[in-house]
């Protein structure tokens, strides 16, 4: 483990993520202290470590900035370059994404434009194979990007209930059997918020380009309540996604209900096609149930399937079996996640440690090779903290089948009107380079109890004056 310290608390948390990524790949224990200062047109970074006697490295970078936000952004980037170089020297370890710790590498790649590849490889030390993936994804996204972000928006709705809670899950979602009395009141408030948001969209002359009902597992709702939510979510949007997730919820009647309300895209998520794994992670379905649900769903919708690399006790052969099985089904979209252990998940709380970075890389590399070899293109990607091997999550699509909402949410160029517990509305102003966020209460019970405050925040956020509590970037 690397004990990381930084003299400036405003920078410490983000910089520590890089040290934490190295800690995943080495059992060595040592400290690394970082100090930095701004001079005339220069940023100086000093790094000290007890790994070697008297170790002290100084790095100097030319430095200029436009405002305080730009100053912090650029400084963090340069300090990470210095930290990365020192940690590679001290550990002999190189990370696939070099000094990058951000969630959205494709967004950064696009911002850097013509110099992107050289900067990623030479300055950020990103492995060439990962630069290839990023560049290929950016290319696939180009025709999908919102060409009229001042007018076209997305609508997101969160249903935080599931049949069971998966062992790896850290989202604010609850097993529906434990919260039966809360479900109807939640849907009542949720539909009220959706109506308000749609009214705001219409009154401002905006157009919904994509609707996404996520969770949780929205299809776990009783049919009458699911029907109520779907009715409120009908718009002129060309894309309407519902996270089906659990195949046991996708009965013929539920699928018919979704189709009747104009749903165009449905997630049927196996996570693994190995029954022992499914039982181990707390899912109540079998691989066979996934196959049956998929065969019914594909007649009505574009289907996405999620798989997760590095699930507990899975071998490379187990994961390869899941990828190969999914490819024989040929869903419109196939999303390959890498397991990440976040606070609050059962796996994290139990002290689980995964099988190592090398296995994670083998799994992810196999998925990329196999999936693209079958005609799929990577069209969106993102990274998360505490991910096995410091790797990535990638969404693949057959030609013409990419999900617009996924691109919008990752590239952050589209305003999102979001409803429900834990939902985060996002207001994007491209002309100012401004992104503002406003979050709802995370817990479903708090959302219901404090619904008046929820609506007050929403009115303020989407009003002319804006919401003083909103987070601006």
Q: Enumerate domains of the chain plus CATH numbers.
A: 1-94 (3.30.160), 100-137 (no CATH), 145-411 (3.20.20.70)
pLDDT attached to residue 468: 44
Q: Which pLDDT score, from 0 to 100, does residue 319 have?
A: 98
| Per-residue confidence (pLDDT) for residue 388, from 0 to 100 | 85
Among the listed residues 424, 425, 335, 348, the one whose alpha carbon sits nearest the alpha carbon of residue 382? 335
pLDDT score of 342: 66
- Confidence (pLDDT) at 355: 57
Q: How far is residue 84's CA from residue 22's CA, in Å, rounded to a whole number? A: 9
Which residues, listed in sequence order, are joined to residue 389 by a DSSP beta bridge?
none
Q: What is the mean pLDDT of the chain?
A: 92
The answer, yes or no, to whether the previous bond of 216 is cis (omega within 30 of 0) is yes
Provide the phi-psi class of 299: left if phi over 0, else alpha when psi is between -120 and 50, else beta.
alpha
pTM score: 0.93
In angstroms, the CA 26 to CA 92 distance is 9
Ranges of residues in the chain whose predicted pLDDT is under 50: 349, 465-468
Residue 29 is inside which H or E element, if any? none
Q: Which helix (H) or strand (E) holds 281?
A: none
pLDDT for 466? 47
């Amino acid at each position: 483990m690397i004990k990381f310290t930084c003299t400036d608390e405003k920078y410490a948390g983000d910089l520590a993520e890089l040290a934490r990524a190295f800690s995943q790949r080495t059992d060595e224990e040592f400290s690394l202290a970082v100090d930095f200062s701004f001079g005339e047109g220069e940023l100086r970074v000093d790094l000290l470590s007890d790994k070697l006697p008297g170790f002290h490295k100084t790095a100097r970078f030319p430095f200029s900035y436009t405002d305080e936000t730009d100053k912090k952004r650029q400084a963090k980037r340069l300090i990470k370059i210095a930290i990365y170089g020192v940690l590679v020297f001290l550990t002999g370890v190189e990370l696939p994404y070099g000094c990058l710790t951000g969630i959205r590498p494709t967004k950064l790649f696009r911002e850097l434009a013509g110099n992107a590849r050289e900067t990623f490889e030479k300055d950020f030390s990103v492995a060439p194979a990962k630069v290839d993936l990023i560049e290929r994804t950016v290319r696939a996204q180009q025709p999908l990007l919102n060409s009229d972000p001042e007018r076209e928006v997305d609508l997101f709705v969160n249903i935080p209930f599931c049949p069971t809670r998966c062992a790896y899950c850290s989202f604010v979602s609850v097993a529906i059997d434990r919260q039966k009395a809360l479900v109807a009141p939640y849907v009542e408030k949720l539909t009220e918020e959706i109506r308000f948001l749609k009214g705001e969209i219409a009154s401002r002359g905006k157009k919904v380009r994509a609707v996404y009902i996520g969770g949780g597992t929205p299809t776990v709702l009783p049919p009458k309540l699911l029907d109520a939510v779907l009715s409120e979510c009908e718009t002129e949007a060309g894309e309407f996604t519902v996270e089906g997730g659990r195949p046991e919820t996708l009965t013929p009647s539920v699928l018919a209900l979704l189709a009747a309300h104009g749903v165009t895209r449905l997630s049927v998520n196996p996570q693994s096609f190995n029954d022992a794994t499914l039982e181990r992670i707390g899912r109540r379905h079998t691989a066979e149930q996934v196959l049956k649900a998929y065969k019914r769903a594909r007649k009505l919708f574009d289907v996405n399937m999620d798989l997760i690399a590095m699930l507990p006790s899975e071998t490379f052969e187990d994961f390869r079996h899941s990828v190969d099985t999914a490819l024989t089904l040929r869903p419109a979209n196939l999303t390959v996640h890498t397991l990440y252990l976040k606070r609050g998940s059962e796996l994290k709380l139990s002290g689980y440690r995964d099988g190592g970075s090398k296995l994670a890389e083998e799994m992810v590399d196999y998925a990329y090779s196999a999936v693209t070899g079958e005609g799929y293109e990577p069209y969106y990607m993102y990274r998360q903290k505490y991910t096995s091997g410091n790797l990535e999550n990638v969404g693949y699509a057959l030609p013409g089948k990419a999900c617009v909402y996924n691109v919008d949410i990752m590239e952050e160029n589209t305003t999102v009107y979001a409803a429900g517990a834990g939902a985060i509305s996002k207001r994007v102003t491209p002309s100012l380079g401004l992104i503002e966020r406003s979050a709802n209460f995370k817990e479903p019970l708090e959302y219901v109890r404090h619904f008046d405050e929820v609506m007050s925040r929403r009115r303020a956020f989407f009003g002319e004056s804006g919401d003083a509590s909103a987070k601006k970037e």
